[in-house]
Chains A and B, each alone.
Chain A
């Protein structure tokens, strides 16, 4: 188990280190997300999308915050992916992630 976590930690660090071009985009989605199920549906759609590094969904704020690798995907692709499952997106913010 110890070794497993070590491998996990190395993997996480190496992913973070190799990613130079990380951005975080925040979308407001239509229709509204109502419950854990909507959240799950969106997460299930996005989690295997190429370039997606982190997903943060807030039902309270009705936002989907995505961290992505700009070398592999862009906001258009991400918003199209959400459109496939019936969610229209409005981009609120798209900023480069500062990795120090």
Chain B
């Protein structure tokens, strides 16, 4: 906490007695502060205020300046005028920045940095079944989660109307789930493992590399060093015969060393075919996921290490009790994934007052994907990634700070595709360096500018400039602006492997360029107290403009999939407005609306990007009883209509429509909390909306396509589960 000068002090006369000064310490709204400490400057002892905030302090002739401090408030330094024998000292809370910590502690908290980001905590995550990362955004208006492919259940998130590939995924601030791991990555982070998710929109800091274009999502797992030593478990089951079990626990081995274990198992027992199209609606997924992490925390050094192993099988295709007599050999998909990840972070704290530290981060991951699709199409992809980062950070004074560092990214891809007998290999090594400067006037203004230079073994050298501004002109009112560039290397077979479940020919342009895009954004947020309850309102506008992009083109040649370099314009405009209000004690209401205008050029012709809704609306109500025993949550989601890729024509008839309609989805959950236990029941897609033909042309192998997914493929689902948490020490 930085020392801050007094903001207000009022002196007024009361009668005098001896060499003693009396006074009262009040909060900004005039409430007495009990137990605030009051002392003379240059003295170590002093006094504390009583239950009415009053104090009496003796003084000598050399005592002039009174220092008042209280936790959660800025220190006050008062030059005492001894002609007045009583004094009123007003203290101001130092959390002037964002009024987000309400009496109840909201589930989503706006982060006070220069970036437009929000922190989704466990309280919010537990509002939905939240089996994994992909399901964590049900109650979030900014992040869309959609299926890519009905057959294999590949899901992706969208931010600012653009594909999740343009969002940099981080786990514990280390880039994760890149390339080959991306298509099914939303299933790799079990919900109960997560402590929080931070979503930052727009250009990010240059610290974590050049890859983020539309934003960053950082996942923090449960911490071994958490104050309490606990054992937790979560069991979940739903009406689609999915079962899940999660275990977590942490141990403090001594004052500095701690470890945590995380385990996850999921299985879907039956192959349900609710829409009776002969195909199972949801793939049968069997996943094991375990992790172990360590933390060493001392005043001089922080070391953290993490290792995780994932093994997953996905089976989909023809339902065994189908009446359609489909040939499983032509449609069944059988995918196996294994993933190993390990990282170490080490930070040496040189001067804790100035936040001076040096950190070194090392990460290794190996992702193997083995897919067998219908009609003999196979794909084997392996990606080995190594990442190293060295960084130095320090504050020069209370206004100026710097962060600088160097990094190296190594990616090795090897593919074996049914189309090409010889394995394809790709290797990219990218060393780079960055510097980022921050100028800050406490609680009022932050300017952050960063620049990095990286040298890709494939594409050569490139600069990444990014800048952020934050301005708080009034208490509760904040403006933010950002601009920055981002880059990405596309590995089509690794990222678009879900397309192999369709029978359409896939043609990949021989030399794909590096993707380059600029992102600009402005936002404003305003928090106020309306009828003594917190209300927050925010609006934002983002513009992403691609200089170069690898696009999925299904329009130039209907019935074929082209993965090619962009020729023409590609951009996205998004505008969003959010409102949050506590209607009654414990009852919160949230509403949000977003417009997307996303265009891409196919063969030089600019069109709406297909499978991208034009708008999205969200309404949610959440009620927590005063003693926090019961919790009720309901979320209504309005998904806008959009365009479908140009349909191929068979016998003069287009085989599917040009666009898809808007639809509404409702989810709700009731939770009963007990001391060591929470029981929840809920439902998703309670409006029972289903996309009518999730699989295009399923009776014929030509044009068979389960990848044109815009809505839910399965109907209403109900679930129940139990969460246990024991504090064993």
Contacts and interface: CB of A to CB of B under 8 A. Distances in A.
B269 interface: no
B33 A60 contact: yes
Contact of B627 (A1, A4, A52, A60): A52
Contacts of B674: 48
A34 B94 CA distance: 13
Contacts of A35: 71-72
Contact of A54 (B31, B32, B33, B626): B626
Contacts of B35: 32, 62
A34 B72 contact: yes
B27 interface: yes
A36 interface: yes
A43 interface: yes
Interface string B686-727: 000000000000000000000000000000000000000000
Contact of A43 (B27, B72, B628): B628
Interface residues of B, number: 23
A34 to B, nearest CB: 4
A70 interface: no
Interface residues of A, number: 20
Interface string B4-48: 000000000000000000000001000111110000000000000
B677 to A, nearest CB: 10
Contacts of B157: none
A82 interface: no
B629 interface: yes
Nearest to B71: A34
A36 B101 contact: yes
A1 B621 contact: yes
A62 B626 CA distance: 20
B634 A47 contact: no
Contact of B34 (A40, A53, A54, A61): A61
A28 interface: yes
A55 B34 contact: no
Interface string B52-71: 00000000000000000001
Interface in B84-133: 101, 105
B255 interface: no
Interface string B610-632: 00000000000101011111001
Interface in A18-63: 28, 32, 34-36, 40, 43, 47-48, 52-55, 59-62
B36 to A, nearest CB: 10
A60 B31 contact: yes
Nearest to B632: A4
A4 B633 CA distance: 11
Contacts, number: 42
A62 B53 CA distance: 11
B2 interface: no
* B interface majority secondary structure: loop
B650 interface: no
A35 B103 CA distance: 11
B345 to A, nearest CB: 25
Contacts of A47: 627-629
B54 to A, nearest CB: 13
Nearest to A62: B34
B239 to A, nearest CB: 21
B72 A59 contact: yes
A70 B32 CA distance: 31
A84 B645 CA distance: 63
B675 interface: yes
A62 B632 CA distance: 31
Contacts of A53: 627
A32 B625 CA distance: 27
B653 interface: no
Contacts of A32: 35, 71
A40 B228 CA distance: 14
B253 interface: no
Nearest to A45: B675
A28 B51 contact: yes
Listed residue (B35, B101, B105, B621) with the most chain A CB atoms within 10 angstroms of its CB: B35
A61 B628 CA distance: 23
Contacts of A55: 626-627
B675 A48 contact: yes
Contact of A1 (B626, B634, B675): B634
B105 A40 contact: yes
A42 to B, nearest CB: 12
Nearest to A54: B626
B32 A61 contact: yes
28 contacts: A1-B621, A1-B634, A8-B623, A32-B35, A32-B71, A34-B71, A35-B71, A35-B72, A40-B105, A43-B628, A47-B627, A47-B628, A47-B629, A48-B629, A48-B673, A48-B674, A48-B675, A53-B627, A54-B627, A55-B627, A59-B72, A60-B27, A60-B31, A60-B32, A60-B33, A60-B34, A61-B34, A62-B35
Given A4-B632, A48-B674, A62-B51, 11 more contacts: A8-B623, A8-B625, A32-B35, A32-B71, A40-B105, A43-B628, A55-B626, A55-B627, A60-B32, A61-B34, A62-B34
Q: Give me the 3 closest cross-chain CB pairs, A-B, nearest first.
A: A34-B71, A48-B675, A62-B34
